[in-house]
Amino acid sequence: MSTPPPARRGRGAALPDFPWDSLAGAKALAAGHPGGIVDLSVGTPVDPTPAVVADALRSAADAPGYPLTWGTPALREAVAAWFARRRGAPGVDPDGVLPTVGSKELVAWLPFLLGLGPGDAVAHPAVAYPTYDVGARLAGATPVPVDPAGGAAALEEARRAGHAVRLVWLNSPSNPTGAVLEAEELAGVVAWAREHGAVVASDECYAELGWDERHDASRGGLVPSVLDPRVTGGEHTGLLAVYSTSKQSNLAGYRAAFAAGDTALVRELLEVRKHAGMIVPWPVQVALRAALSDDAHVDAQRERYRARREVLRGALEGAGFRVDASGAGLYLWSTRGEGSRATVDLLARHGVLVAPGDFYGAAGAQHVRVALTATDERVAQVPERLAALG
């Protein structure tokens, strides 16, 4: 007789099962394809780390002392200059910049770091990266999914339903949908949050990957930041932009990210993080500064993803899929009008692994998320594999 697994204890007892564990069967099925698996599920970068960044890391390898939790002034100034140069957000105060150990840890711990707990609510997009929900649960707060297209009206509806919203998560471009919130939409949320005393945290880690003309940097476009003056009214009170170089610079293994915005909020986070030892290693701080100071490698990586995106989108649409949103970011939000798990299994039988939309909330249950993160050689196999579905 088998022994049942032990009951969860502590904070983990309130958490959902880790969603990726449920893909094991589909992954094994896809791996059994004669040509091997084309893994378009997780979205982990596969291209080389840029030389300019790797060289910077090596230059800082002799690091016998403790690094600064706040980051060096040079790093924080580089972040501020990057916002002005790449994000249309001049005026970021270097004192309002905080390096983080990747962006996921900050997403997961921000409600706790801000002192949220029972009775408080964390609003997040209804179709979203699961860690927004998890972070609320870790703090003992209540996660409240809202439709980001509803903007301030959706937040007001949540407030009237009795939710004391103290933190609002935005995600633009969205993971998984690739939808972008325009400056006027962001401004509406910011105005509501300021009126009701909530913090707005905007996860913008795909912002360098705009595809349609309005958001494509190679054509003069821009994905708006929550720190854009059109959004802020010229001051950053109550606002944090969260960014990671994992996608733009192939640095997922470095865990090189940061938050920026309200200097008072950053100092509050800094004090807790100093006590907890949540410090970005010195060599990574040096590498992060190099990544943010060099635009050429970012532009080159965007073009690699653009080429893969064109191949994959053509293959999906030729096989009867509809691609929704997806105007920016690293994914194609795709549907055949059936349950996402059925679509995952169908594609796995053809050696292609994707993520089911139900990972990202009930509203995603008929979509799959198709990542652009596979090598050119692997991506080139997808059209032939899906041709039989057309």
CA atoms of 263 and 237, how far apart (whole Å): 8
Angle at 337 between CA 336 and CA 341, to 5 degrees: 75
CA atoms of 142 and 286, how far apart (whole Å): 37
Instruction: Using 70 as the pLDDT threshold, list the residues of the chain that sit under it.
Output: 1-15
Which residue is associated with the tokens 């733009």? Answer: 248
Q: What is the pLDDT of residue 1?
A: 37
Q: What is the pLDDT of residue 13?
A: 47
Q: What is the pLDDT of residue 11?
A: 53
8 Å CB contact between 119 and 136? no
Angle at 368 between CA 344 and CA 346, to 5 degrees: 25
Q: What is the pLDDT of residue 155?
A: 96
| Paired tokens of 75 | 């790093």
Closest Cα to residue 243, out of 18, 89, 359, 363? 89
State pLDDT tens for residues 220-249: 999 999 999 999 999 999 999 999 999 999
Q: In the chain, what are the domains?
A: 10-47+297-389 (3.90.1150.10), 62-294 (3.40.640.10)
CA atoms of 114 and 25, how far apart (whole Å): 39
| Paired tokens of 67 | 């690094």
Which residue is associated with the tokens 């596969």? Answer: 46
Q: Whats the size of the chain, residue-wise? A: 390
| β-strand partners of 199 | 167
CA atoms of 390 and 388, how far apart (whole Å): 6
Q: What is the pLDDT of residue 8?
A: 46
Q: What is the pLDDT of residue 329?
A: 97
CA atoms of 363 and 360, how far apart (whole Å): 8
User: What is the model's pTM?
Assistant: 0.94
Q: Which amino acid is at 22?
A: S
Q: In what helix (H) or strand (E) does residue 26 lie, and over which residues does it extend?
A: helix 24-31
CB atoms inside a 10 Å sphere around CB 104: 20
Q: What is the pLDDT of residue 30?
A: 96
CB atoms inside a 10 Å sphere around CB 277: 8
Q: Which amino acid is at 239?
A: L
